[in-house]
Every structure is written in C-alpha cells, then in structure tokens.
Amino acid sequence: MSTMAGKPDSGDKCRFDRENEAGMNTTAQMPTDPCDECGQMKPAFGFTLLTSEKGGPARKLCSECCNREYMHRAGLTELETADFEPLTRRDCVGKEHTFHFVVHMSTGLGIKAFELVDGVPGGYQFFVLEHPQTRVRAAYDKLVKKIEAGLAVRYLRSSDFPGSGASHNRLYVKGTAVNGRIDEGDDGLPVVVVDGRQFSWEEFGQFLTPYNGFNFRLECFDTCDNPDITSEPARPDLVWWLQLPESERDDEDHRHH
C-alpha cells in the first residue's frame, strides 16, 4: 500500500459483501503475554525471541525491551517509549477497521499496523520502515496516512443481483489493477488478502473472469514499499488515432500507407 491518496470509491456497500464479511470476527481483544525481561503483560504479537550468544535459554522480549536491547548493542540513543492505542478508521464504504500497532527496531525503525481477525493479525495490514533516528511519532503519523490512503480504495465489487438473482451474486475485479497481500492459509498454502479479506487463489482467479484473454503482470513489493494503489492506473491509449478529428485521421491514414 502507499501513502499516495487514493480516490474514494463510490456506491453503497453491496449485499454480497455484507454476507461474506459476516463470518469475520474483528472485535476480539488483543491477547497478552508476560515479557521475560520486564515482567509486564504486553500484546502477544509484539514479542521477539532473543537467543543467547553464550548458549543460555532464549528470552521472549516485548517490543519495548527488545528495542532497548537492540539500541544498546548498536550504540544508538535509546528509542523513545511509545505504546500506541488502537486506532479506528472507516473505509470507502463506511466499514470501521480497528488497527493495533507494534514498534520494532531492526535495520530501521519499523511500525506495523494490523487488524485482529478471530484473535490473530489479519485483515488490512500496513507497515513503514524509517531511518533508525526518526522520531517514533513522525513514523506513526506517516503510517496513519498510509492506512487512510489504503482504506480509501476498493478493488473488488459485487454484481449484487436483486431478488431471485441474489444467489448468483459474486465478486469481481472493479478496475484494471489490484493491490493486496500474499499470506499463509490454515493449510500452509499461500492465500491472497484483498480489501482486507482473505481469499484462496482459486477464488481470486474467479474474480478475474471478465479479463479472460488479457495479459497481466504480477509484481511483488516489500511491505514497507509504496507502489501505486489506484484501481485504474493511467495507461496510454492504444488506439489514439480514433480520438483524432476526422480530417487529421485521414492525414494519418495517408501517412501510414
């Protein structure tokens, strides 16, 4: 996803969308675990298992203790403490999404935002990676903008047939481009997450049936990268001569014969 502002999609939330999202539990509370260093109960998904260079037992450190250890070993100024509260934002069809945050220092200052689905990280996820000396609040503000831009774009749309045709409703790709995430399913096989929802590759392939016979390009990006997020990126007009006035079109025809 990108910090680039996406154009909000128009239209009401489709009935098919509501039915498919009904089984997603995004209200579960964040589980906690005790940190082996500070002893405090911290969010379970912010821990790092730190092994000992002397062969001692590994320690499970919360993000704050792990960051302090990393900064000390690297000879850097201690990272400012920041425990960000969950943040709720609405997507372009009015659905609320609540994000939790983990701050982690490695090759740079990283902050990850994620939803909880059935008690584990899932749904929409965003990440920023900044210079190690970047202020944590500045990186957080950048991540919030990235979240808001990502939620402003929707890539799938329902056919939403009324009445007796409702049983034939299905999702399809709304534009000519789709941004999403490759994740691991319960069976260990790759799945895709689009519009914050998980689909099998078979399901995703069905969304592409309107484009049978078209060429495509699959390009993967790091989670901290900022690719174009528009659902209909600008492309050159392949039959530009049809847009010319008739007199100019005749001149072009003569020039190419």
Model confidence over 204-242: pLDDT tens digits? 999 999 999 999 999 999 999 999 999 999 888 888 888
Mean pLDDT of 63-90: 84
When divided into structural domains, the chain yields a total of: 1
Residue among 17, 257, 256 nearest 159 (CA): 17
Model pLDDT, residue 255: 58
Domain-located, residue 43? yes
Domain-located, residue 163? no
Domain-located, residue 177? no
Model pLDDT, residue 247: 66
Domain-located, residue 217? no
Domain-located, residue 143? yes
d(CA 38, CA 42): 10
Each residue's pLDDT tens digit, 153-171: 999 998 776 665 556 678 9
Q: Would the pLDDT of 27 be above 80?
A: no
Question: CB under 8 Å to 163, separation ≥6 — which residues?
Answer: none
pTM of the model: 0.79
Q: Would the pLDDT of 5 be above 50?
A: no
Domain, as residue range, for 44: 27-151
Average pLDDT over all residues of the chain? 83
Q: What is the pLDDT confidence band of residue 7, given thresholds at 50, 70 and 90? A: very low
d(CA 142, CA 145): 5
Domain-located, residue 38? yes
Mean pLDDT of 185-202: 95
Domain-located, residue 204? no
Domain-located, residue 59? yes
